[in-house]
Structure 1
Amino acid sequence: MSQIETILSLIAQKHLGIETLETRRSDSLDFHDTAVWCIKDALEAAFKAGVELGASMPKATASEIAND
């Protein structure tokens, strides 16, 4: 599991009460009734995690950007 997948799974568990983000091919396991304030909390946590992850990554040089 990648770092991003791990972070998303932890956010889903903590804020949404979702055990796993894996598809289990069962409506009762794959669809969830979630309060909007829980979704808002999860989105805020994901945004903050992205900011922290982005801040910790090395910045691209001008030549690296030009090669993309």
Structure 2
Amino acid sequence: MTRRKTTNPTAQRDAQLLEIAQRQFRIETLETQNWDRLDFHDVAVWAIRAALEEAFEAGRRAGPANTQV
């Protein structure tokens, strides 16, 4: 019997968001570092737009959420 690998959807989402932030904003981490110089960044509006578009497309590719209310 083959074991299915379980994945944490929150961890996957966080990893994708970090990849987008690193690529679009050159930010090393999305964790709070309690140092203004590391926690606040000047970002161009076109970079914000590109990151939002990339995140939107990632969500669209992931498909509808499997949540029940």
Unaligned runs of 5+ in 2: 1-9
Per the normalisation by structure 1, the TM-score is: 0.78
- The one-letter code sitting in structure 2 at the alignment partner of 1:20 is T
Tell me what 2:19 maps to.
Answer: 10
Per the normalisation by structure 2, the TM-score is: 0.77
Q: Give 4+ residue runs of structure 1 displaced > 3 Å after superposition.
A: none
Tell me what 1:44 maps to.
Answer: 53
Unaligned runs of 5+ in 1: none
SS in 1 for 2:42: coil
Tell me what 2:42 maps to.
Answer: 33
Q: CA RMSD in A?
A: 1.9
- The one-letter code sitting in structure 2 at the alignment partner of 1:15 is Q
Percent of aligned pairs with the same residue?
Answer: 48
